[in-house]
Amino acid sequence: MLKSADKWTYEEVLKYYRLTNDYRMVNACTVPKAGTMPFESAITQHLRGKKAMGTFDMPKCFWQFPLDSTRQDMLSFMLNGWVMTPNRVMQGHVDSALYVQSTSEAWYAPLLNKHLLVLDQFFDLVSQYGFKLCPTKTKLYTKQVKWCGRYLSESGVKQDPERIQALCAIPKPTNAGELQQFIYATNWLHESITEYAHTVHPLQQCLTRALDGKSKKKRIASGNQISLTGDEVKAFEAVKAKLRSAIELAHPRDDATMSLFTDASDTGWSIIVTQVLGFDADSGMFTGAQLNWSVIEKEAYPIARGCDKLNYLLMRPDGFRMYCDHENLIQVFAPHAERQKLTRWAAIIGGYRYVIEHIKGFNNLWPI
């Protein structure tokens, strides 16, 4: 750790730093507890129609969970001249994060009067277990909340304008570390950007060449100087233009018919899921052995990927409609399909209710 003065003050330590420890040896002897990581896209759809929301923050969250007395000795660690035995959950232990991920930090309700009842239940739990909340980060009532760099409301999910403005203000990168940071940061917004993979591909190729055989850590990559070509500079500015036109994603509606649009070329693929309000977009470039796939395999891949990654949208009681411009794909999902790869993808799609329709290639255009 670094310090700006000769001595640490209690205010600096408590405000800016958290106690953690290297528990790799203990973790190696610990059977990990089964748990799931919260899936943001699946969680946010529950906010549809919720007009009242509230947000809360638990400072030093790990330390607010008491550690069982039978487990305190194994998490003890040695300091200068003495051994510290914690009585709170330690950050760095294999199961510590599960206690935090299973707690609620946002509360919502369809109407204000019901929101008051939800708040009453929440504060009862906080009082019962002795949790502490940060007053400056508490919002008892709001119509939209900022979470993970996105604004959530009853209508949908939109990207943070300040974040987009900051990304668009980034100057042309001069080293691999800066280019890597720009690509990683913009990729977080790719669901709201059409043709993102195709647009950023020249920059991704430049980064791949720059880091070929080298460490991908930012500290190492920052020492690798690069000079963008004319096409790469155009791609850099094109990504910024895409960021400025990022769309708001609507929450799925129970009464809407979901439509899955897919297409593929020799080098890339794209997926669009749309309903009455908004759409979810994804795209990518074929790499390595994927470039040698047959045409029908390239056309089928985005359909299988869409059903696999966007199942929270497409798993509907009334099914969904699927559109593609490769007529032979209708035969892919028949029992006599011979290719093992296509058979596996057909098994993924077989768990859905859907209607597949063919669109002739010259009509398969998506207005931008």
Asked, for residue 110, whether it belongs to a domain, the answer is: yes
18 lies in some domain: no
Q: Give mean pLDDT, residues 334-339.
A: 48
* 30 within some domain: no
What pLDDT does 4 receive? Answer: 52
Among 63, 67, 59, smallest CA distance to 132 is for 59
Domain boundary among 224, 249, 274: 249
pLDDT of residue 188: 87
One domain for residues 203 and 277: no
Q: Are residues 354 and 256 in the same domain?
A: yes
pTM of the complete model beyond 0.85? no
Domain that holds residue 297: 252-363
Q: What is the pLDDT of residues 300-333, one digit of tens each?
A: 777 777 777 777 677 766 677 777 665 555 555 5
CA distance 149 to 78: 38
Last residue of some domain: 110, 127, 154?
154
Pair 200, 280 in one domain: no
Identify whether 34 is part of a domain: no
| Same-domain status, 220 and 320 | no
Task: Check pLDDT > 50 for residue 198.
Answer: yes
Q: Are 18 and 91 in contact (CB under 8 A)?
A: yes
Confidence of residue 12 (pLDDT cuts 50, 70, 90): low
Can you tell me the distance from the alpha carbon of 226 to that of 337, in angstroms, rounded to the nearest whole number?
A: 47
| pLDDT value, residue 107 | 56
What's the pLDDT tens digit per position in 250-292? 777 777 777 777 777 777 777 777 775 445 556 667 777 777 7
- DSSP-derived secondary structure for 200-264: HHHHHHHHHHHTTTS---HHHHTTSB----HHHHHHHHHHHHHHHTPPPEEPP-TTSPEEEEEEE
CB 49 within 8 A of CB 115: no
Amino acid at 285: M
Q: Is the CB of residue 27 less than 8 Å from the CB of residue 93?
A: yes
Assigned domain for 226 exists: yes
Q: Note whether residue 329 is domain-resident.
A: yes
Domain end, chosen from 129, 154, 179, is at 154
Asked if residue 267 lies in contact with residue 288, where contact means CB atoms within 8 angstroms, the answer is no
The domain that holds 311 is classified in CATH as 3.30.420.10
Classify residue 336: in a domain, yes or no.
Answer: yes
* Separation CA 354–CA 259 (nearest Å): 9
Question: Which pLDDT tens digit goes with each residue over 120-135?
Answer: 888 998 899 888 898 8
Domains held by the chain: number = 3
Q: Is 9 inside a domain boundary?
A: no
User: Which secondary structure element, helix H or strand E, spans residue 12, and what is its range?
Assistant: helix 10-16
Place of tokens 């950023």: 200
Secondary structure (3-state) at 287: coil
- 348 and 257 fall within a common domain: yes
The answer for residues whose C-beta is within 8 angstroms of residue 24's C-beta and 6 or more apart is none
Pair 235, 328 in one domain: no
Please state, in angstroms and rounded to a whole number, the distance separating the CA atoms of residues 53 and 42: 18
